[in-house]
Structure 1
Amino acid sequence: MSNLKRPLESLPTQISAQIMTHIREEGLVEGAHMSAQSLADRFGVSRSPVQKALAQLVADKVVRHEPKRGFFVTGEGLTIASRSDSNDPLAETYLQIADDRLRGELPDVVSEAALRERYDLTQADLRSLLLRMQMEGWLHKRRGYGWMFHEMLTTPDGLEQTYRLRAALEPAILLEPGFRLDPKVLNQLIEVEKRMLDGEIDTASIESLYARGVNFHEALAEASGNPFMLDSLRRVNQVRRLLAYRSMVDRSRYYGQAREHLEILDLISRGSMVEASVAMRHHLGSVMVSLQRIEPLLR
């Protein structure tokens, strides 16, 4: 079990951390089945690193493997996954790097030596942070030397533009003729929102809060059966990540957002898709109003 605290030194180990977050945020129960292919699809990677990550978690007794049946969450895994992620010792540094990038204090291309010196990091901690940022899609390893930051939104106006795009896209997602939200996914989304309202809004890390919102909206896009809509939303969520982190200074607004998510899910469960579409448009409009109120903090 001590292996769970090892540095994230490889892609499979990074994915194993994402699987732990997935177990917690989706409210999985003991004995819940996890498919390597579905996890690969969720994280946007091939099956190979997912299989290796699951093997690591089997060794840590977080999941168990049954031949010809797959992987299942264990009771010990639930105990570990339920722990708050707000105590990550690298969380503050991670957010400082994001903030420095937004402020233009980091160049497009950086060396590992420069990052180690600037943030006073060990090689293992730096590697952990670089892998995490690479998995989240805001930098990549250059051939031969250094790391390059991807293009990200750096102005509040850009963040508002993404919400206007989403206000056009996401209500339409709910009206797609092939829309079907799996009942299990529906129940998982409901449980996540209920846990948020029960206090996790105040205790979860801002990265986790962002991931939960992204998971909610992308799950609905996936249920549309329209891969172009899902791809468009994923691209928007990737480029808005850093500004979205900064906008999370006011956690109180997430209580209203969680209640609105539950309202949308309730309408979907009753097959009231037109009403759900209207509720989604209202929800995204409310978020834009909230962003306008805190815009000075984003500059």
Structure 2
Amino acid sequence: MNVKQLRAFLAVAQCLSFAQAGERLHLSQPALSLTVKSLEDELGGKLLSRTTRSVSLTPEGETLLPLARQLLADWDNTEELLRQRFTLQLGKVSIAAMPSYAGNLLPSALKVFRERYPRVNVAVHDVINEQVLEMVRHRRVELGIGFEPESSSSLLFTPFYMDRFVAVVPVGSPLAEREEVTWGELLREDFIALQRPSAVRLLLEQDLRNQHGKLSVAFESHQLSTIGRMVASGLGVSAVPSLCIQQMRELGAHCVALAEPRIERRIGLMMLADHKLSAAAQALRDVLIECAQEHTLENV
């Protein structure tokens, strides 16, 4: 039993006329009769009683009629739902992004995406870099944004840009008047850092160890917004990726370029190398890459 056979049966059952049903389905009467007969052969008995003057339903045909209506309605609804998803009239996509990106550049990209695909729902998981990688690898999200993995053949990484760390200091600090400060100068102050296992914290400790030894931390927090407020309140200084500059300014802190050593890391988009993205995820990926390219050009 197939959809074509059910449509033929339903049309004849509703019209009680092969001629009218054929017109509705754009089929010749012989072709329609053959389709109905093939359905009867499949099921093992007559569904329609036909004479030269009239067509009527057999008891078995009466039993099939409401079931055929429901089956075809379900089929049409499923077909329409998938068509809407493929054409992005409906859909849902999940993405994981590290907080420094999720709270700064991601909203503007999502605004562009929403304008183009207003009926596609986006779930954003604002998690540390390590969890971004884990969620992508375990297929909990289709896309992730974070630091470039050191080595992973299972992930496809699309670089957005090279991000560098900048100093975050109180507005009234003498360091705020400088165009650039060294790490040595910054670390003489009380340092405020993200808590482990944040990739930002681990990266700083790793790159500073040779020249400055173990990173001495006076205060630590899980949230970048809390660190910005702490610095603005005069509790100390910090260092964050440059994509957080606007966020730090809004929190009342000041950012200054950092040198010696210059710590930087590529940020980009991750997905499983062997995974075929859904239509919604592919559309979001395209928008994210487009917005990243525009951001890079603006900052050249």
| Greater Cα radius of gyration, structure 1 or 2 | 2
Higher relative strand content? 2
| TM class, shorter-length | under 0.3
TM-score in terms of structure 1 length: 0.23
Length-normalised TM-score, structure 2 = 0.23
RCO higher in structure (CA 8 A, sep ≥6): 2
